[in-house]
Amino acid sequence: MAVLVGKEAPGFNAAAVINGDEIVEGFTLEQFKGKYVVLFFYPKDFTFVCPTELHAFQAKLDEFKSRNVEVVAVSTDTEQSHWGWLQLSKDKGGIEGITYPIVADTNKTISHNYDVLAGDFYYDEEGMLQAEGELVAYRGLFLIDKEGVVRHQLVNDLPLGRNVDEALRMVDALQFFEEKGEVCPANWSKGAEGLKDTHDGVADYLSRN
């Protein structure tokens, strides 16, 4: 699994559904330069765990927006599949009401470049291209800063849903560090004290805990 933290987030140009009902071509991350981005991958449309995650991000969307954060989802389904799922109500397993962009990684290159693609391609003994495993995305999440650099990443296996509050906490931690120049100890949350990045700061923290 590639570690992208500290590196420029891989760019892409793909179709997406925005505002819950509009299919657009040429969707890129470049449009969000100067903002933070939480980019998350999910395996499939019309499944069970995935809609709980998408709705959970929507429920916290105003909190992300208040922190200058754009939320963007990606799966290997087509934009038409995304659009169809968005027309289905929540009580029927759909994601109606989701307003943040959902990108169609139909050719699987985005998932590959972020190294979250489950399964792989290989050539058999006869030189024929084969696929091993299901070529869908793991539940990857990447926090990208205003300069387009990945500052946090998390990858869950397919059955394991994510904690959206933890994604917000990581945004808060990054912004706290950028604003205060202080680092965030274990279990830090917004409103707590940080540490100055010195031995004296660590000693001070230990003396208080």
Catalytic: which of 9, 38, 50, 136?
50
* Pairing assessment for the beta strands 69-75 and 102-104 based on DSSP bridges: parallel
> Does 50 participate in catalysis according to the annotation?
yes
Contact 64, 99 (CB under 8 A): no
Quote the CA–CA distance of 200 and 182 in Å, as a whole number. Answer: 13
Greatest pairwise CA separation for the chain in angstroms: 66
Q: Which residues are catalytic?
A: 50
